Amino acid sequence: MIACADPSAQFQSYQAEIEAAALKVMRSNHYVLGLEVEALEQEFANYIGVSSAVGVANGTDAIELALRSLDIGWGDEVITVSHTAVATIAAIEATGAKAVIVDVEPKYFTLQPSQLTNALTSDTKAIIAVHIYGQSVDLKSISAFCKNNKIFLIEDVSQAHGAKYEGKRLGSIGDIGCFSCYPTKNLGAIGDAGLITTNSKKLSKKVRMLREYGWDKRISQYPGRNSRLDELQAAILRVKLRHLDSDNSKRNKLANHYITELVDSSIVLPQTRSESTHVYHLFVVQVSNRNELMDHLKSNNILAGIHYPIPTHLQPAYLNRLITSTDMKVTETLADRILSLPIYPELGIENVQKVVTAVKCFNNS
């Protein structure tokens, strides 16, 4: 069976290092927010190219706390896309703010900048730019829009750890960057984890307080909650961070193999923006008879995925709830056409070739 993603394969790659790191924590008698978290924060900040990083419990919390650190909440609006993990929108709503959604660019699946003017109101406080599938949004246009309208830019980098835009790592360009380290992500823990990056001392200090009851020296300065990061996950992430660039280049090799082999087929291949690098969190193709191709692959023991089968604004919890200022034509069309072919660093060219062969066989049938 070829899975769409396989975090246990990554554990096996780095098993000795991960087990040593985990054992050290277990024997340390300090399990939450300690030296491993501090070291991870320093190393991740250096890697992304920002002055500070803050570890939190998961990616959804990273976004919620980022918004709270910018004083965004009740009565405010935050613009983002519907073509994303539900988490992006859940995090906005967790602050009390309203989510305003816009459509995406058909070529890159990312926020369509031309729709921002329609979505802007006097209550708009921020845009959450989701770097979907492994590459950047049109950051130049979106940053310019944020500057001109004096609103904040939050990057949701949960699918693009390590990718660059005009030479800079994603998560270092907006006011604040939010990362999920869920096990299947490019930088994945063995459990839940999240990270926030920023160049603002003020914001990093506030996020640090917000993740633990709003405390400053054990006195709550803000209404608090708990979004602490475990030492065990931090220690594991430190091991994985050392291998992130090499893992991303493995993903690129596999993606290039797919592209070379499938360039003449009828499926639409993913495209990379010239200003961005791609870290292929997912390898998403478009095909008109998607469900048939998915079934065909399954009968060949290949599990493809769909990210995402129903746009957030059409899922039961969010139906008629999110603010839409434009139509969602591209988002809604994509939902029936997209298919995520297996990709993860340990997959190997031989297995990619098996998927290619199965896709070609389907195309010719």
Ligand X SMILES: *Cc1c(COP(=O)(O)O)cnc(C)c1O
- Which residues bind to ligand X, rule: CB under 6 A? 58-60, 84-85, 87-88, 130, 156, 158-159, 180, 182, 192, 194
Residue 68 or 354 with smaller CB distance to ligand X: 68
Residue 23 or 317 with smaller CB distance to ligand X: 317
Residue 50 or 187 with smaller CB distance to ligand X: 187
Smallest distance from ligand X to CB 279, Å = 13
Q: Looking at beta carbons, which residue is closest to ligand X? A: 59
Smallest distance from ligand X to CB 89, Å = 9
Smallest distance from ligand X to CB 295, Å = 26
Smallest distance from ligand X to CB 256, Å = 23
Residue 36 or 192 with smaller CB distance to ligand X: 192
Smallest distance from ligand X to CB 166, Å = 21
Let me know: does 154 contact 67? Beta carbons within 8 Å: yes
Report residue 356: phi and psi, to 5°.
-55, -45
The reply to whether omega before 222 is within 30° of 0 (cis) is: no
Residue 187 or 352 with smaller CB distance to ligand X: 187
